[in-house]
Amino acid sequence: MIKKGILETILARRGKDTSGLIEILRDVQTAFGAVSPEAVAKIADRIGLSRVDVEGVATFYHFFSSHPAGAYAVYLNSNIVAEMKGRAEVARAFEKAAGCRFGETTPDGLIGLHETSCIGMNDQEPSALVNGVVFTKLTPARVKEIVAAMKAGRNMATLVKKTGDGANRSRLVRAMVNNNIRKKGPVIFSPFKSGAAVRKAVTWTPEDVIAEIKRSNLLGRGGAGFPAGLKWEFCGREACEPRYVVCNADEGEPGTFKDRVILTEMPHLLFEGMTIAGYAIGAELGILYLRGEYAYLKARLEKVLADLRVRKLLGKAVAGKKGFTFDIVIKLGAGAYVCGEESALLESAEAKRGEPRPRPPFPVQNGYLGQPTAVNNVETLCAAARILERGAGWFKTMGTPKSAGTKLLSVSGDCRKPGVYEVEFGLTVRRLLEMVGGRDAQAVQVGGPSGICISRGQFDRKIAFEDLSTGGSVIVIGPERDLFAVVHNFMDFFIEESCGWCVSCRAGNTLLKQKFEKITGGHGTLQDLREIEAWGKTIKAMSRCGLGQTSPNPILTTLQNFREKYEAAIDQSRDYVTTFDLEAAVRDASAVTGQKLAEARHE
Ligand code: SF4
């Protein structure tokens, strides 16, 4: 039974706007520990959506649950780096102290234990979110204290005795998180005079701003590497108005946390980049889509936005430019990796299920609310502001001819100095390993689970779009680590995070993992190795979005670069041909989704 007065207060505060549905669900989850069917019915009634629509959104995101998630809801990071740093003992300590298992809530409803794939703290694992408060470097002893505090009814924020560095100490953040900026570079982490880039930009025409970004050869830093200037040009050319700027601050790739540090330390640079994008494409509104795991930063980001309004760097006549109106709002996600994909992010920003859209049309034509939208990564927008401040020529003096500028790397795993490194493109993995204290690595996972796992023989490869492209995640895998355990963890991650729309991704990855387990369990044959490779390619070709298109990479790239480990695991004396044909199995579903079998065959 939900307390009517509280729900009424939430609904009254949020109004009847359907675009506020995720915020309403967040408030309800926080107030009641669940979004019950009763709450769904009341919300639907109030904002004029069907129950099915509201329930569809409420069941999509990890941070909402229909059953009580606990007055104290613990979300313990379960990705591979957390495992490397002692997550298993911490998990056991939570279970022992709380008296329930992960996936359960105590009978009195006080404590719920949940696993989550990445909360953006891989440089300080094991970590957890408890009622939105971040706990880092957890130990079994610390867990005992935390659970005792829960039983005493304490507010989790009061357990943050020692705050981290920089703005983590500020009154509006007060988090124990450390920035761990290990190497500062000239683009992102050099001193920045707030207002300098926007004031300069508005003295130019929007076309000149776009031309300067194009001249700089700034490629999207989220991993895909699409030219930022071209994206702005395409978007600005669309006749339809209004247009929007959306900043993708939903870095959910396990091992990525560099945007967290930008959002903490360089929000002015980011907001200035968004404003310049707005000026260039003719938008009046920018949306910062902030991953739910970083909700602890929201109050400070709102304060920075408020200050920018007071200083006339947002609002009407921005920086004194008549006719240029621009403002920024923040929308919070609620825990869904797939929302890092730009079209899924737009769906989520519209308060719907974060399911990727078919493309084309692309967001520059048909984005937020069906309008032309430039979706850019946090780091890309910061780089754009810096380019306006210091010039495209300066930017191109760094990096390689095809990859200009610097890249932020989030380095974690088996190394002595995990953290954020701003390096010039072209740096070799070997040199990076020297910097981070991970020389003895047997492998490096570049680009997170969706990226590539490289072996020692490839350590002279370069971090650059023309060689090893990465959104920023670099996980060092030490010599003693079981590589198959790493792959297993990554496959579990993709299976958990699939939105389920494509059969190839939803069912194919489970089949792929079963085949992988057969091989690593010592029951595989040469035929299984051939099949796992063929199935992986089929899944990649038949999946609608980047998640499915990269989900077999943990298996495919280790099979390619560590084939000897797979061959050692199979029984090479046996070889037989199975009758199961994955391509045939997903043919009907692929016809519906429009994915082409031919692409799978020819990849
Ligand atoms: Fe959803 Fe996977 Fe298909 Fe992407 S590839 S739309 S995550 S089912």
Q: Are residues 461 and 510 in the same domain?
A: no
Residue 153, in any domain of the structure: yes
596 residue type, one letter: K
Report helix, strand or coil for 264. helix
CATH number of the domain that residue 340 is part of: 3.40.50.11540
Ligand 1 centre to CA of 299 (Å) is: 33
Q: Show the 3-state SS of 242-260.
A: CEEEEEEECCCCCCCCHHH
Q: Are residues 240 and 336 in the same domain?
A: yes
Nearest CA to ligand 1 atom 4: 545
Please, are residues 91 and 231 in contact by the beta-carbon 8 Å criterion? no
Ligand 1 centre to CA of 502 (Å) is: 5
Residue 390, in any domain of the structure: yes
Ligand 1 centre to CA of 501 (Å) is: 5
Q: Are residues 416 and 491 in the same domain?
A: no
Start-to-end C-alpha separation, the chain: 55
Residue 467, in any domain of the structure: yes
Ligand 1 centre to CA of 49 (Å) is: 25
Number of domains in the chain: 5
Q: Which two tokens stand for residue 47?
A: 């904002």
Q: Are residues 217 and 312 in the same domain?
A: yes
Position in ligand 1 atom list of the atom nearest CA 499: 1
In which domain, by residue range, is 508 found?
A: 483-569
Q: Give the helix ranges, DSSP H, for 482-596.
A: 483-497, 503-506, 508-520, 526-542, 546-550, 553-561, 563-569, 582-585, 587-593
113 residue type, one letter: L
CATH number of the domain that residue 470 is part of: 3.10.20.600
Q: Are residues 42 and 152 in the same domain?
A: no
- The strand pair at 473-477 and 406-413 is best described as parallel
Angle between helices 228-237 and 378-390 (to 10 degrees): 90
Cα-based angle 536, 534, 502 (whole degrees, multiple of 5) = 45
Q: How many other CB atoms sit within 10 Å of the CB of residue 58?
A: 26
Looking at residue 16, its pLDDT comes to 80
Of 357, 502, 542, the residue with max ligand 1 atoms within 8 A of its CB, to mutate for a pocket test, comes to: 502
Ligand 1 centre to CA of 504 (Å) is: 8
Position in ligand 1 atom list of the atom nearest CA 545: 4
Ligand 1 centre to CA of 496 (Å) is: 11
Q: Are residues 83 and 193 in the same domain?
A: no
Looking at residue 116, its pLDDT comes to 94
Nearest CA to ligand 1 atom 5: 548
Which stretch of DSSP H or E encloses residue 406?
A: strand 406-413
Q: Are residues 254 and 299 in the same domain?
A: yes
Of 345, 348, 355, 498, the residue with max ligand 1 atoms within 8 A of its CB, to mutate for a pocket test, comes to: 498
**Strand intervals (E) in 109-242:** 111-116, 128-130, 133-135, 181-183
Ligand 1 centre to CA of 544 (Å) is: 6
What is the tens place of the pLDDT at every residue in 189-241?
Answer: 999 999 999 999 999 999 999 999 999 999 999 888 999 999 999 999 999 99
Looking at residue 576, its pLDDT comes to 58
Among 436, 454, 475, which residue terminates a domain? 475
Residue 587, in any domain of the structure: no
Ligand 1 centre to CA of 490 (Å) is: 16
Residue 528, in any domain of the structure: yes
Q: Are residues 115 and 209 in the same domain?
A: no
Report helix, strand or coil for 335. coil
Among 358, 375, 396, which residue terminates a domain? 396
Looking at residue 599, its pLDDT comes to 47
Looking at residue 593, its pLDDT comes to 61
Q: Quick one: DSSP state of residue 468?
A: B
- The residue among 580, 577, 512, 579 whose CA lies nearest residue 542 is 512
Q: Are residues 217 and 120 in the same domain?
A: no
Nearest CA to ligand 1 atom 1: 499
**385 CB-side CA count, 13 A:** 31
Q: Give the helix ranges, DSSP H, for 123-266.
A: 140-151, 196-201, 206-216, 228-237, 258-265
Please, are residues 21 and 351 in contact by the beta-carbon 8 Å criterion? yes
pTM of the model: 0.93
207 residue type, one letter: E
CATH number of the domain that residue 529 is part of: 1.20.1440.230
In which residue are the tokens 């408060």 written? 133
Residue 166, in any domain of the structure: no
Q: Are residues 354 and 304 in the same domain?
A: yes
Ligand 1, pocket residues at CB < 6 Å: 338, 356, 498-502, 505-506, 543-545, 547-548
Q: Which two tokens stand for residue 225?
A: 């590497």
Looking at residue 602, its pLDDT comes to 40
Q: Are residues 255 and 301 in the same domain?
A: yes
Q: Which two tokens stand for residue 116?
A: 């989550």
Residue 442, in any domain of the structure: yes
Please, are residues 508 and 539 in contact by the beta-carbon 8 Å criterion? yes
Q: How far apart are CA 280 and CA 277, in angstroms?
A: 5
Of 337, 352, 499, the residue with max ligand 1 atoms within 8 A of its CB, to mutate for a pocket test, comes to: 499
Ligand 1 centre to CA of 487 (Å) is: 20
Among 475, 498, 529, which residue terminates a domain? 475
Looking at residue 598, its pLDDT comes to 45
The list of the chain residues with pLDDT below 50 reads 598-603
Which stretch of DSSP H or E encloses residue 373?
A: strand 373-377
Q: Are residues 240 and 374 in the same domain?
A: yes
Position in ligand 1 atom list of the atom nearest CA 506: 8
Residue 487, in any domain of the structure: yes
